[in-house]
Chain A
Amino acid sequence: MAHHRSRLVAVGAIAVLALSACGTSDGGGEGGGSAAPPTMQALDTIGEGEGEVNILAWAGYAEDGSTDPAVDWVTPFEQKTGCQANVQVADTSDSMFEKMGTGDFDVVSASGDSSLRMIYAGKVAPVNTDLFTSYADVPDFQKMQAWNSVDGVAYGMPHGWGAQLMAYRSDVVTPAPTSWDVVFGADSPYSGKITDYDSPTDGIAAAAVYLMATQPDLGIENPYALDQDQFDAAVELLKSQQPHVGSYWASYTDAQKALENGSTVVGSTWQIIVNLAQADAAPVESVLPDEGATGWADTWMVDAKSPHPSCAYEWINWVTSPEVQAQVAEWFGEAPANTQACALTTEPTHCDTFHADDQAYFDKIWFWTTPQSACLDGRTDVKCVPYAEWGKAWSEVKNG
């Protein structure tokens, strides 16, 4: 019997080899090196709309009224441009990275920990910033940054930014916390009810940010540029935290539900989660702890194989216009990239609260970026741990 099967396997193996010999690598993450981004042309002019646009976005970035009938900037976009918007919400940067590059989507609201990878993998095209109607309204400190440009070529339009905050149940976590101690400290009274955002980049970097404050001896300068010793220390901290974690959240509604039903009471969050929980009358608050925080600076990028580039640019122009930026920023709870939006928010102090025009504050947040073996903090005497290792280490952490 055994040899019958092995013969069958052999036949299959030949079939596979034949397939792999002529199979082309697709754009979905299989193929392409990282020496330099592939050369591509940006769009010259925005032409006639193609009738639809496929949008891959973070939760709350492209609302069509289905979450809350009053929160809708997709429908007016469709009416104005004739581009029907198909929105898909992504949970993590990894899933965004995975889904781009095939032409399935036209635009993506990429965060810094996937944007550079997308550029180098040839998944996104350079952009023509002259076609962005609001580009001039974005403060310079957000333009041509490491996460949205390579060698002076722009790859996207800034959308907004914010810090990864700490959420807590104000009825349980008293006094109100000001430090990540309650999350990372070995003697946290909230053991079993702590929550972390389920992302390798953010998870490990958040631990590194905490270590920068609590163990200066490690010499961490940048939480995304960790040599092996620093990386091991961060992973060790996370492993010691793991038994106290109630859940690692990937879906923001799971995070919201867990805070509402009390299965988690403190941990990493987005402001939108806190807002939604408060809307359900749950006693949930957020704080930016003293040690500082990781954060995101998101960029609208265009897929390299986008079948609807004109509608894609139309969408970017729409979503970064002052009116829409004001709505998104308040709904999601972040600083709008376009500071013209600040005059239009329903809460007049929104931009002050989120420091939208405050470069000093912006510089204090450790924005997600992709770790590479060439250290991002400029050290040349050591090699840093590259992203592929971060992903594995994170799943090791979660498996205790």
Chain B
Amino acid sequence: MRGSRRARWTFGAMMALGLAFVYVPLVVIVINSFNASTVFAWPPKDLTTKWWVETAGNPSVRHAVLTSVEVAVVATAVALVLGTLLAFALARYRFFGLQAMSLLVVLPIALPGIVTALAFRTGFRTFLGLELSLWTVAIAHATFCVVIVHNNAVARLRRTGLAPEEASMDLGADGFTTFRLVTFPLLRGAMLAGALLAFGLSFDEIVVTLFTAPPGVTTLPIWIFQNLQRPNQAPTVNVVAAVLVLISVVPIYLSQRVAGESTAGGRI
């Protein structure tokens, strides 16, 4: 089959078509950030760099980025702990409720975002009477990030098996030393890949954030959403959008260098 030239060309053409489908809109975003007009119309008549200069000095964007980072850091930290613990439990033990637990962990991303979002809101407000805050956002984000860390860690645990740890114990290391010198180093890459993805997922989440954030907490997606609904803000949003597209290569680079994941983004 690999020998079939026509099949290879067909698949190659599909690949090129797919990549064009994926990248044309992204290129449009980047070009549009230089569009001199505040109203989108293709093709742009004039190009300018003035929106980039204006946006660089915009304090509300910086503030929104910081808020997003805060939420994502808390959510990722929680998910890293819970997801890794869970991965060990589910990958290495058989117990009553194992199946239910493995279903429960995927549920937050397997159920549509609006369901998760409304569930959290109802739980937090109607049932617990909590005031929404940065923490309610982080708690909600952490919950759907657990599965990401868990999936990456489980995959690695299954792949490496028990042999390295057994060897370590046979050589006289106790459980803690084995974890420090064998288990953790083996798992580190997968944990990093999971953490990176979890961070990205939280950073980009809009629906759950809209339902669990109080008015004062403006993450970057909420900032974008609000500003797209205000007149004459399109150029600023376009620049932020272009920056987000351009810096998306950073996590990809990181996951390849630091996490050493061949799939370049870990497992979703």
Contacts and interface: CB of A to CB of B under 8 A. Distances in A.
A261 B104 CA distance: 46
A20 B127 contact: yes
B183 interface: no
B200 to A, nearest CB: 27
Contacts of A1: 99-100
A293 B233 CA distance: 31
Interface string B6-31: 00000000000000000000000000
A68 B230 CA distance: 11
Interface of A: 1, 4-5, 7-8, 16, 19-20, 23-26, 28, 30, 54, 56, 59, 66-68, 86, 88-89, 91, 99, 102-105, 251-254, 256-257, 260-261, 276, 280
19 contacts: A1-B99, A5-B99, A7-B97, A7-B100, A8-B100, A23-B129, A25-B129, A26-B126, A26-B131, A28-B125, A59-B230, A67-B232, A86-B215, A88-B215, A102-B131, A104-B132, A104-B215, A253-B228, A261-B41
Nearest to B97: A4
Given A89-B226, A253-B229, A260-B39, A30 B100 contact: no
A20 B128 CA distance: 7
Nearest to A24: B129
B38 interface: yes
Given A5-B99, A28-B125, 17 more contacts: A1-B99, A4-B100, A8-B100, A8-B101, A23-B126, A23-B128, A23-B129, A30-B125, A67-B231, A67-B232, A86-B215, A88-B226, A91-B229, A102-B131, A104-B214, A253-B228, A280-B39
B96 interface: yes
Closest 8 CB pairs of A and B: A24-B129, A251-B229, A4-B100, A5-B100, A104-B215, A26-B129, A23-B127, A8-B100
A280 B126 CA distance: 44
A8 B229 contact: no
A157 B129 CA distance: 31
Nearest to B104: A8
Interface of B: 38-39, 41, 96-97, 99-101, 103-104, 125-132, 214-216, 226, 228-233
B99 A4 contact: yes
Contacts of B129: 23-26
Contacts of B100: 1, 4-5, 7-8
B239 to A, nearest CB: 15
Q: Which of B96, B99, B231, B232 has the most CB of A within 10 A?
A: B231
B208 to A, nearest CB: 17
Contacts of A56: 215
Nearest to A1: B99
Contacts, number: 79
A66 B55 CA distance: 12
Nearest to A9: B100
A89 B218 CA distance: 13
B126 A30 contact: yes
A5 B229 contact: no
Contact of A67 (B104, B131, B228, B230): B230
A267 to B, nearest CB: 18
A256 B231 CA distance: 9
A25 to B, nearest CB: 7
Given A25-B129, A26-B126, A99 B231 contact: no
B39 A4 contact: no
B126 A25 contact: yes
Given A8-B97, A19-B127, A89-B226, A276 B215 contact: no
